[in-house]
């Protein structure tokens, strides 16, 4: 018998919790029993963020940190005149006063908060489910801010009944689709954190054993991103930026996005990424016993503080990656996200990270690639086909009306990518490529491979044209552009090397000499003089197939790599980058555009905070997205066909 599944493990944990029901008081006892180091360290971290954002303490010694916003779409994806906000409540003891209450005050100017919304306080606990790890006991305050004025700026602050109050933050409510002007959104994936949950007063080897066991200071690179190679051109010994995840989050703000997409692998509280039961008994040696995963829930505290300067002001919308299968929580390991984040819950039942929303003339759809993956099969197939059926119905609905011009899908494992580590996932490709091709999806934002890659447009598995930097693409005819933006801050992966024993050549490709460029990069200002890999055009890559499947080193079920020759890999950048997407809606019959700019974090040698390394424009005729028999039709009837 193999390892237990995420759901079996979560069920066992629930039984444990029911037998030893955790109250706010017993959470206090549990945390203080671990020498209090972790609770105090987390309180210091949260307290610093709280004070820096203008928070004022109350009587209970509780701070409010990691505020983040999310859109609240209705069942059809249309945005309601509302915003969800969640923040964390942290005390120096790890517990909250029994009768603490919370509200969110909203108004149209700082200090003028005329509306008050009740907030809920939720306790997220994992009891003793993490062998050798910290007690999981965290509190979140959650509220829905309704009755907003579309398109208007709203200010808000969170207030507790003991007098604790946050500083002011503000957001712009989504405009009514019909009057939306140009806007920008940003996207990336595989972000992680640069600070481990720790007591900052001591280095890890000075900590008492009990503190270490309870999540004190772990070695660098276990529960944070700090395992960059010295040769890394950005984050390495001679690089320009040791903390690319933090830097990129800040740089996104300079683009003034109206929201941000994160295509999975959010904070790496589960750094093993296999979704197996949590066990930290060997975490000091950077590994987990066979059949288990590392897990530290307090990485979330660090992450939510890290993104707060952006996420308290603009919604962040998350898809789930393999590192987001958190096995101490139910619902396929996503139960924690339902509390910590605000998943819109308008997708298929039992799939909390699958949802959709529309903003102006663009439809956005979050897909759970864990459910489709041939590579890593821990969560594969849990919806029994419900997810794909729902995705198809959502795409079909959008392509049956004229309100949505562009469709953007975001998900984690790549349908099309050429990285050495994960390349393309055949399960994801086989499920999504036919739907995306048929329903004319415009852009797919992916992650999982820790680098940046952009494909030429693809329809039904084939490249339709070459689209170098500066191109204008007509997705309705040309097909889908797939971007891997797994360049969000985690240590980078290499592209596939030249064919050899470690990277067998695709069928029919004869190796013809040494690879000219070390990692096959190609972006604005950097093109190989000689052919990369072994031929003029072939990128040596592979695609995961579901069978034959075998147990990986950790005990997770993995598929098989099948070499493939690739002609669609257009842009390849092997460091840190995000995309900023400028959308210009238009009157029906006029051209509407979506310009995708790739911005690299601190490209060595430029001396600039970021550098644009690629730009393409997707163009459509507004109001003409309706499909009839698989073809773009001219609808509504009053718009003349051209
Ligand atoms: Fe990742
Ligand atoms: Fe991943």
**374/421 Cα distance (integer angstroms):** 14
State the distance from the centre of ligand 1 to the C-alpha of 288, rounded, in angstroms.
18
Question: In the predicted model, is pLDDT for residue 636 greater than 80?
Answer: no
Mean pLDDT check: name the lowest of 45-59, 422-436, 437-451, 453-467.
Answer: 45-59
| Closest ligand by atom to 319 CA | 2
**195/197 Cα distance (integer angstroms):** 7
| Closest ligand by atom to 245 CA | 1
State the distance from the centre of ligand 1 to the C-alpha of 598, rounded, in angstroms.
19
| Closest ligand by atom to 192 CA | 1
Question: In the predicted model, is pLDDT for residue 632 greater than 70?
Answer: no
Structure confidence by residue, pLDDT tens digits, 248-280 = 999 999 999 999 999 999 999 999 999 998 888
User: Of 9-18, 318-327, 621-630, which has the strongest mean pLDDT?
Assistant: 318-327
pLDDT of 211? 44
Structure confidence by residue, pLDDT tens digits, 18-65 = 655 545 444 444 444 443 466 677 788 888 889 999 999 999 999 999
State the distance from the centre of ligand 2 to the C-alpha of 65, rounded, in angstroms.
27
DSSP codes joined into one string, 404-434: --EEEEE-SS-SS--BSSS-EEHHHHHHHHH
Q: And the tokens for 28?
A: 């206090």
State the distance from the centre of ligand 2 to the C-alpha of 121, rounded, in angstroms.
31
Structure confidence by residue, pLDDT tens digits, 431-441 = 999 999 999 99
Query: Please, are residues 386 and 352 in contact by the beta-carbon 8 Å criterion?
Result: no
Supply the pTM of this predicted model: 0.92
State the distance from the centre of ligand 2 to the C-alpha of 274, rounded, in angstroms.
9
Q: What is the bridge-based pairing of β-strands 443-446 and 406-410? A: parallel
Q: And the tokens for 453?
A: 């890659």
| Closest ligand by atom to 491 CA | 1
Q: For residue 251, what is the enclosing H or E element?
A: helix 244-254
Q: And the tokens for 540?
A: 């040596």
Structure confidence by residue, pLDDT tens digits, 82-122 = 999 999 999 887 788 889 999 999 999 998 999 999 999 99
Q: What residues contact residue 13 under an 8 Å CB cut-off, 6+ apart?
A: 126, 127, 129, 328, 330
Structure confidence by residue, pLDDT tens digits, 200-218 = 444 434 444 444 444 456 7
Residues with CB under 5 A from ligand 1 (ion): 190, 265
**494/613 Cα distance (integer angstroms):** 18
State the distance from the centre of ligand 1 to the C-alpha of 323, rounded, in angstroms.
7
Query: Which DSSP symbol is given to 322?
Result: G
R_g (Cα) of the chain, nearest Å: 24
DSSP codes joined into one string, 35-66: TTHHHHHHHHHHHHHHHHTT-B--SS-EEEEE
Domains detected in the chain: 6-493+575-621 (3.60.21.10)
State the distance from the centre of ligand 1 to the C-alpha of 13, rounded, in angstroms.
26
| Closest ligand by atom to 373 CA | 2
State the distance from the centre of ligand 1 to the C-alpha of 353, rounded, in angstroms.
17
State the distance from the centre of ligand 2 to the C-alpha of 169, rounded, in angstroms.
32
Question: In the predicted model, is pLDDT for residue 353 greater than 80?
Answer: yes
pLDDT of 41? 72
Residue 155 CB-density burial (10 A; 0-12 exposed, 13-18 middle, 19+ buried): middle
Nearest to 146 by CA among 94, 93, 74, 76: 74
Question: In the predicted model, is pLDDT for residue 593 greater than 60?
Answer: yes
Query: Please, are residues 258 and 442 in contact by the beta-carbon 8 Å criterion?
Result: no
**384/378 Cα distance (integer angstroms):** 14
pLDDT of 522? 83
């Amino acid at each position: 018998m193999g390892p237990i599944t995420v759901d079996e493990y979560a069920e066992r944990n629930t039984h444990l919790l029911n037998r030893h029901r955790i109250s706010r008081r017993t959470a206090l006892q549990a945390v203080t029993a671990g020498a209090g180091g972790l609770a105090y360290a987390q309180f210091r971290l949260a307290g610093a963020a709280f004070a820096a954002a203008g928070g004022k303490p109350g009587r209970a010694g509780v701070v409010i940190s990691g505020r983040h916003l999310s859109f609240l779409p209705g069942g059809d994806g249309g945005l309601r005149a509302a915003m969800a906000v969640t923040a964390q409540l942290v005390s120096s003891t790890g517990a909250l006063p029994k009768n603490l209450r919370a509200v969110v005050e909203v108004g149209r100017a700082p200090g003028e908060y005329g509306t008050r919304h009740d907030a809920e306080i939720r306790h997220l606990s994992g009891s003793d489910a993490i062998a050798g790890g910290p007690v999981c006991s965290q509190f979140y305050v959650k509220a829905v801010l309704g009755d907003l004025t579309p398109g208007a700026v709203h200010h808000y602050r969170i207030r507790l009944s003991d007098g604790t109050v946050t500083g002011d933050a503000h957001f712009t409510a989504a405009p009514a689709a019909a009057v939306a002007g140009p806007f920008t959104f940003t996207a990336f994936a595989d972000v992680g954190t640069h600070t481990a949950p720790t007591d900052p007063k001591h280095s890890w080897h000075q900590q008492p054993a009990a503190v270490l066991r309870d999540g004190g200071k772990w070695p660098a690179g276990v529960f944070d991103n700090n395992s960059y190679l010295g040769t890394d051109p950005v984050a390495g010994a001679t690089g320009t930026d040791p903390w690319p995840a933090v830097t990129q989050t800040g740089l996104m703000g300079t683009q003034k996005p109206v929201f941000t997409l994160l295509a999975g692998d959010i904070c790496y509280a589960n750094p093993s990424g296999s979704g197996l039961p949590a066990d930290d008994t060997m975490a000091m040696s950077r590994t987990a016993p066979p059949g288990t995963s590392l897990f530290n829930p307090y990485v979330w505290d660090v992450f939510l503080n890290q993104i707060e300067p952006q996420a308290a002001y603009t919604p962040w919308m998350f898809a789930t990656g393999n590192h987001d299968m958190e096995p101490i929580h139910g619902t396929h390991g996503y139960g924690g996200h339902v509390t910590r984040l605000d998943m819109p819950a308008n997708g298929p039942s039992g799939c909390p990270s699958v949802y959709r929303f529309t903003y102006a003339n663009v439809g956005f759809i979050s897909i759970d690639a864990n459910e489709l993956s041939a590579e890593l099969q821990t969560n594969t197939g849990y919806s029994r086909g419900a997810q794909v059926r729902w995705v198809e119905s959502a795409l079909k609905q959008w392509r049956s009306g004229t309100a949505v011009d562009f469709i953007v899908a975001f998900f984690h494992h790549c349908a099309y990518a050429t990285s050495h580590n994960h390349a393309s996932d055949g399960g994801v490709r086989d499920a999504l490529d036919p739907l995306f091709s048929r329903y004319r999806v415009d852009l797919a934002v992916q992650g999982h491979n820790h680098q940046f890659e952009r494909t030429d447009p693809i329809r039904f598995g084939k490249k339709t044209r070459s689209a170098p930097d500066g191109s204008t693409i007509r997705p309705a005819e040309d097909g889908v552009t797939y971007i891997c933006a797994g360049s969000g801050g985690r240590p980078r992966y290499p592209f596939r090397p030249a064919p050899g024993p470690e990277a067998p050549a695709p069928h029919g490709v004869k190796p013809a000499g040494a690879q000219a460029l070390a990692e096959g990069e190609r972006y604005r200002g950097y093109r190989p003089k000689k052919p990369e890999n072994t031929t003029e055009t072939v990128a040596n890559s592979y695609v995961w197939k579901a069978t034959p499947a075998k147990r990986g080193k950790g005990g997770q079920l993995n598929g098989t790599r099948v070499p493939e020759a690739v002609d669609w890999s257009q842009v390849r950048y092997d460091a840190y980058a995000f995309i900023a997407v400028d959308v210009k809606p238009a009157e029906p019959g006029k051209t509407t555009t979506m310009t995708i700019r790739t911005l690299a974090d601190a490209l060595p040698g430029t001396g600039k905070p970021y550098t644009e390394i690629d730009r393409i424009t997707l163009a459509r005729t507004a109001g003409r997205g309706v499909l009839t028999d698989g073809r773009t039709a001219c609808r509504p009837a009053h718009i003349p066909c051209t």
